[in-house]
Amino acid sequence: MPDVALADVRFAVVDVETTGGSPSCAFLTEIGMAVYVGGRKVDDFDQLVDPGVPIPPFITELTGIGDETVAGAPAVSEVLPELCRHLAGCVLVGHNLPFDVSFLDAALLAHDHPPLDHHRVDTLVLARQLLHNRVPNFKLGTLAAALSLPNQPSHRALADVFATADLLHWQLDRLAEDGVRRLPQLLAMAGLRRQRHADTTTTMPPVSPLSFRPPGPRR
């Protein structure tokens, strides 16, 4: 594991929209990603994907993505090589990251690519530790509202990426106050091991009381 200052880490925040809840029977409809270094966005990627199957009405109601939305969009096989180029050298970040990675890995494996092999940070895991008993739930929308984050999620990939990035940077600011400033420290607290389905984390040491102050501009 590289011993890198968090200010120098390339964090790739990812989010996907899908036709359902499991990659065993559902497919990608949208992939969003943005790369941040030192709190600044240096790259982004947003692509609708033709899932190759009809999109259920309840998904369209939730996300606004319907069959007509993805008409003419590329198949996932055309999107994956570019996505992997954007993710190279990054630490993956997501809110409930195993969900997003499970769909991306399923698509990669189905098209003869290796699964993602990146260090990973789940903002959901961090939120449960930093905001324990301070919010009614740990949904991204709830957290974005409670912390007055600049971006609010909308069940569209890139909007949710920006909201997750705001949450990540709020969390990093709080952790820095407690001396967490290097990548191995962060991964010990909220990292997911690089192998699929391994989502256990170590226990985080106590942190100082929270003020809910919103972060400054990040984009």
**Cα 86 to Cα 41: distance, rounded to the nearest angstrom:** 13
Instruction: Please report whether residue 143 resides in a domain.
Output: yes
Strands 28-37, 11-18: pairing kind? antiparallel
In a domain, 203, yes or no: no
**Which whole number is the average pLDDT over 156-171?**
98
In a domain, 153, yes or no: yes
**Is residue 204 assigned to a domain?**
no
Domain of 40, in residue numbers: 6-192
**What is the predicted pLDDT for the residue at 97?**
97
**Quick check: is 49 in a domain?**
yes
Element (H, E) at 136: none
Query: In whole angstroms, what is the distance from residue 74 CA to residue 45 CA?
Result: 14
β-bridge pairing 120-122 and 191-192: antiparallel
Q: Which tokens is 90 given?
A: 């990054």
Residue pointed to by tokens 């920006």:
162
Whether residue 30 is contained in a domain is answered as yes
Task: Note the pLDDT of residue 193.
Answer: 58
Q: Which residues of 119-130 are buried (b: 16+ CB within 10 A; e: fewer)?
A: bbbbbbbbbebb
Tens digits of per-residue pLDDT, 88-128?
Answer: 999 999 999 999 999 999 999 999 999 999 999 999 999 99
Q: How many domains does the chain have?
A: 1
User: Do residues 55 and 65 lie in contact, with contact meaning Cβ atoms separated by under 8 Å?
Assistant: yes
Domain containing 170 — which CATH number?
A: 3.30.420.10
Residue type, 173: D
pLDDT of residue 139: 98
pTM for this entry: 0.88
Q: Do the domain assignments include residue 97?
A: yes
* Residues 6 or more apart in contact with residue 195 via CB below 8 angstroms: none
Rounded Cα distance, 49 and 80, in Å: 10
Is 151 inside any structural domain?
yes
> Residue 70: how many CB atoms within 10 A of its CB?
19
31 — pLDDT class (breaks 50, 70, 90): very high
What digits encode the pLDDT tens for the residues 176-211? 999 999 999 999 987 765 544 333 333 333 333 333
